[in-house]
C-alpha cells in the first residue's frame, strides 16, 4: 500500500486534506493528490533544514495541484510569512538546478500568492480582496528601507519580502477584525 492510500483507505484523502512537504511524491501520488483535491503545504525551510529534498512546486502547480505555504516550525526556523515566501523562492531556484535548468523558479508574486491567497482558498476564501470575503490584510510601512529611485508597487512588495525592517507591520486584519 502506498503512503497516500492509507489516508484514502480511512476516508481522509479529499479536498479537506493538507499534505505537508510532498518532496518525493511520484507521478502516481501527484495524480491522486490532484484528483482528490488535496492541498500540498510546501515548507521550504523545513525541507532545507532536514535535508529532505526540494519539492517540485512549479511542476505541481503546472499539473493543477493546489499548493500553499507553511512554516513547519518543527523543522523550519521562520514563522514570518515574508521569510517563508523568500525561502520558497530560494528553494524553487534550487529545484531549477536539480531539474537541469528546465524548470522556471517562482516569482515573488507567485510565491506571495502561495503564502497568502492559496492558503486562504483552502478555508473557502476567494483569492485576493474578493467581494464578500472578510478582510485579511496587513499594513506595512516600508519608509525605512532606502531606495535609490522611486519604486513601483511590485518592487516595493519584492523589497518587503527580501528586506524586512523592524516594526514595519503597522496593522493586521483577520476575518474583518483588526487584531494588531
pLDDT tens digits for 97-137? 999 999 999 999 999 999 999 998 998 887 778 788 888 88
The span from the CA of 14 to the CA of 163, in Å, is 38
Domain 3-122: which topology?
Answer: TIM Barrel (3.20.20)
Section 33-45 average pLDDT:
96
pLDDT of 151: 92
For the chain, domain boundaries? 3-122, 137-178
pLDDT of 57: 97
DSSP 105: P
Categorize the per-residue pLDDT at 149 as very low, low, confident or very high, splitting at 50, 70 and 90: very high
Which stretch of DSSP H or E encloses residue 46?
helix 44-49
Nearest CA-CA partner of 86 in 136, 42, 44, 146: 44
Q: How many CB atoms lie within 10 A of CB 156?
A: 15
The residue among 133 and 150 whose pLDDT is bigger is: 150
Section 12-18 average pLDDT:
96
pTM: 0.90
**Three-state DSSP state, 141:** coil
Q: Does residue 9 carry a pLDDT above 80?
A: yes
Which one of 45-49, 55-59, 141-145, 169-173 scores highest in mean pLDDT? 55-59
Residues 6 or more apart whose CB falls under 8 angstroms from that of 114 comprise 42, 57, 67, 68, 69, 85, 88, 106
Q: How many CA atoms lie within 13 A of 4 on its CB side?
A: 25
pLDDT tens digits for 45-100? 999 999 999 999 999 999 999 999 998 877 878 888 899 999 999 999 999 999 99
C-alpha cell belonging to residue 89: 523562492
pLDDT of 143: 83
Q: Are 160 and 116 in contact (CB under 8 A)?
A: no
Q: Does residue 43 carry a pLDDT above 90?
A: yes
C-alpha cell belonging to residue 163: 528586506
- Which phi and psi angles does 127 have, rounded to 5°? -60, 145
pLDDT of 163: 84
Amino acid at each position: 500500500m502506498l503512503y497516500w492510500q492509507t489516508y484514502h483507505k480511512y476516508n481522509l484523502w479529499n479536498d479537506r486534506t493538507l499534505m505537508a512537504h510532498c518532496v518525493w511524491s511520484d507521478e502516481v501520488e501527484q495524480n491522486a493528490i490532484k484528483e482528490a483535491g488535496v492541498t500540498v503545504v510546501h515548507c521550504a525551510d523545513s525541507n532545507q533544514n532536514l535535508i529532505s529534498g526540494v519539492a517540485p512546486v512549479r511542476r505541481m502547480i503546472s499539473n493543477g495541484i493546489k499548493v500553499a505555504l507553511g512554516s513547519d516550525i518543527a523543522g523550519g526556523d521562520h514563522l514570518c510569512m515574508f521569510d517563508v515566501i523568500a525561502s520558497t523562492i530560494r528553494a524553487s531556484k534550487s529545484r531549477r538546478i536539480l531539474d537541469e535548468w528546465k524548470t522556471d523558479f517562482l516569482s515573488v508574486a507567485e510565491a506571495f500568492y502561495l503564502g497568502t491567497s492559496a492558503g486562504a482558498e483552502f478555508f473557502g476564501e476567494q483569492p485576493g480582496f474578493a467581494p464578500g470575503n472578510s478582510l485579511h490584510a496587513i499594513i506595512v510601512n516600508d519608509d525605512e528601507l532606502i531606495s535609490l529611485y522611486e519604486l513601483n508597487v511590485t518592487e516595493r512588495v519584492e523589497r518587503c519580502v527580501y528586506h524586512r525592517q523592524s516594526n514595519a507591520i503597522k496593522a493586521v486584519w483577520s476575518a474583518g477584525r483588526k487584531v494588531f
